[in-house]
């Protein structure tokens, strides 16, 4: 999810040592290591607008996509430690600490947290071309045709990837992972019927569900979300204990 960035994202910013009486004396940049229109991007732009009003200096949002968030994080880690380059991160970055041990930066060494921003449930969706109207039908199809269905993610180690692999393991199904370079590509992929499924932030995917562009299968929350109250949780819909195991999984990112 997700913390945002986790989404659940347990969002962090990098921040250097600055003099409170002079900061900020010039524009501040927030680097978002994910695509335009995703949760991290939306929250960065919302916070940036508020900070512009409060701090009296422009807050510039820059998207640097790729590497499961690593490209943007590396750019911030290598920037001057003066508080003028911030990072909107997600729990993807904590997963990458063990998934990608030879990164050019180290999260706890090179970046300093400021605050958490947002938590969001995730939502499993399928393209309308998939002949399943609920999770029970989707599972039946996946078990009848192993390896035929696939799901998109924004890259290895991201919350969407981890949630998808947990779903496969708990449901006992063979669904192919299709990693994209970022969330925007993955979302374009499922909206364009290039992939069958995706697990994404509910706030991002809800408008597509309401518009009939995608079908909702279930959420990762403990209870139904007020965003889409008619959509059951994945545990409620048929994958028993998914929510409990998903919450355990999140402790590691």
Average the pLDDT over 95-113 and give the result. 80
pLDDT at residue number 21 = 60
Q: What is the 3-state secondary structure (H, E, C) of 11-72?
A: CCCCCCCCCCCCCCCCCEEEEECCCCCCHHHHHHHHHHHHHHHHHCCCEEEEECCCHHHHHH
More confident: 177 or 253: 177
Question: Residue ranges per domain, the chain?
Answer: 3-110, 122-250
Contacts of 40 (CB under 8 A, 6+ apart): 4, 5, 7, 9, 11, 32, 33, 34, 88, 89, 90
CATH number belonging to the domain at 3-110, selected among 3.40.50.720, 3.30.300.30, 3.40.190.150, 3.30.930.10: 3.40.190.150
**Residues 218-252: tens digit of each pLDDT:** 999 889 999 999 999 999 999 988 978 877 666 54
pLDDT at 18: 47
CATH class of domain segment(s) 122-250: alpha beta
pLDDT in tens, 145-196: 999 999 999 888 788 898 999 999 999 999 999 999 878 899 999 999 999 9
The mean pLDDT value for 94-115 works out to 80
What integer pLDDT is reported at residue 16 of this predicted model?
45
Q: What is the mean pLDDT of residues 55-68?
A: 90
Q: What's the per-residue H, E or C state across the chain?
A: CCEECEEEEECCCCCCCCCCCCCCCCCEEEEECCCCCCHHHHHHHHHHHHHHHHHCCCEEEEECCCHHHHHHHHHHHCCCCCCCEEECCCCHHHHHHHHCCCCCCCHHHHCCCCCCCCECCEEEEECCCCCCCCHHHHHHHHHHCCCCCEEEECCCCCHHHHHHHHHHHHHCCCCEEEECCCHHHHHHHHHCCCCCEEEEEHHHHHHHHHCCCCEEEEECCCCCCCCCCCCCEHHHHCCCCHHHHHHHHHCCC
pLDDT tier, 95 (very low <50, low <70, confident <90, very high otherwise): low
Is there a contact between 200 and 183 (Cβ–Cβ < 8 Å)? yes
Least confident of 106-120, 126-140, 141-155: 106-120
pLDDT of residue 12: 42
Please state the pTM of the whole predicted model: 0.69
- pLDDT above 70 for 13: no
pLDDT of 2 strictly over 50 = no
Contacts of 88 (CB under 8 A, 6+ apart): 4, 5, 11, 13, 30, 31, 32, 33, 34, 40, 41, 43, 44, 117
Q: What is the pLDDT of residue 101?
A: 77
Is there a shared CATH topology between the 3-110 domain and the 122-250 domain?
A: yes
Which pLDDT belongs to residue 20? 52
Cα–Cα distance for residue pair 58/2, rounded to 1 Å? 28
Token look-up 């819909």 returns 237
List C-alpha distances in Å: 204 to 23, 187, 200.
Answer: 34, 10, 7
């Amino acid at each position: 999810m997700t913390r945002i960035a986790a989404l659940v994202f347990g969002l962090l910013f990098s921040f250097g040592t600055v003099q409170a009486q002079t900061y900020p004396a010039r524009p501040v940049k927030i680097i978002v290591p994910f695509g335009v229109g995703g949760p991290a991007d939306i929250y960065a732009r919302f916070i940036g607008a508020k900070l512009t009003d409060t701090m009296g200096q422009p807050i510039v949002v820059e998207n640097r996509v790729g590497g499961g968030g690593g490209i943007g994080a590396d750019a911030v880690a290598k920037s001057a430690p003066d508080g003028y380059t911030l990072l909107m991160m997600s729990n993807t970055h904590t997963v990458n600490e063990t998934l990608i041990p030879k990164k050019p930066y180290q999260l706890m060494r090179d970046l300093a947290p400021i605050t958490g921003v947002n938590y969001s449930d995730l939502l499993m969706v399928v393209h309308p071309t998939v002949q399943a109207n609920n999770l029970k039908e989707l599972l039946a199809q996946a078990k009848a045709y192993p390896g035929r269905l696939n799901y998109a993610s924004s890259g290895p180690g991201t919350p969407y990837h981890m949630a998808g692999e947990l779903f496969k393991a708990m449901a006992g199904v063979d669904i192919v992972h299709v990693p994209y370079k970022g969330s925007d590509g993955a979302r374009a992929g499922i909206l364009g019927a290039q992939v069958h499924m995706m697990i994404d932030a509910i706030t991002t995917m809800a408008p597509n569900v309401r518009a009939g562009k995608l079908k909702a299968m279930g959420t990762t929350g403990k209870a139904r979300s007020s965003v889409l109250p008619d959509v059951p949780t994945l545990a409620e819909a048929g994958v028993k204990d998914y929510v409990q195991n998903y919450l355990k999984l999140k402790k590691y990112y």
